Amino acid sequence: MIDKALSGLFKVVTEEAAANPTFARRLEDSLAKFAEDHAAARRAGARIADFHPHIEYPKATPEAFRKRLGGFDATELRMIVAKHRLDPAGTLKPRASKKVLVEHVFNAAQKRAERDAKLFEY
């Protein structure tokens, strides 16, 4: 069912692109932008792949950890927040600044480290 619907949709789009050069150009620009965004997201994902804030925080001083977070751009910080579920309540704004994101990740890692330290006190 879905295969037939998608096939019909793509047929309409290709026919319109062949008949309308303006539509074809807009479609091409849209696909190019999507490809650029996808490539940028993959590069950002590769850059943060080995970074885990809950593991990295105890290894460094708070200043060094904050400095390391400052080395990431806002997109990478958003990916860290999403990957490690650092905003379960959804308090971060979608377009939060880099400074806000750094503080959010830092505070989440710090709270987790403090909680873990209390858990393992004997």
**pLDDT value of residue 101:** 96
Are 61 and 73 part of one and the same domain? Answer: yes
- pLDDT, tens digit (0-9, with 9 covering 90-100), for 39-80: 999 999 999 999 999 999 999 999 999 999 999 999 999 999
Are 61 and 39 part of one and the same domain? Answer: no
Are 85 and 67 part of one and the same domain? Answer: yes
Residue ranges in 1-122 assigned as alpha helix (H): 2-19, 21-48, 53-59, 62-70, 74-83, 98-119
**pLDDT value of residue 94:** 87
Are 43 and 79 part of one and the same domain? Answer: no
CA–CA separation, 57 vs 55, rounded Å? Answer: 6
Instruction: Give the total number of structural domains in the chain.
Output: 2
Residue 1: which pLDDT band, with cuts at 50, 70 and 90?
Answer: confident
Q: Residue 26 sits in which domain range? A: 1-49
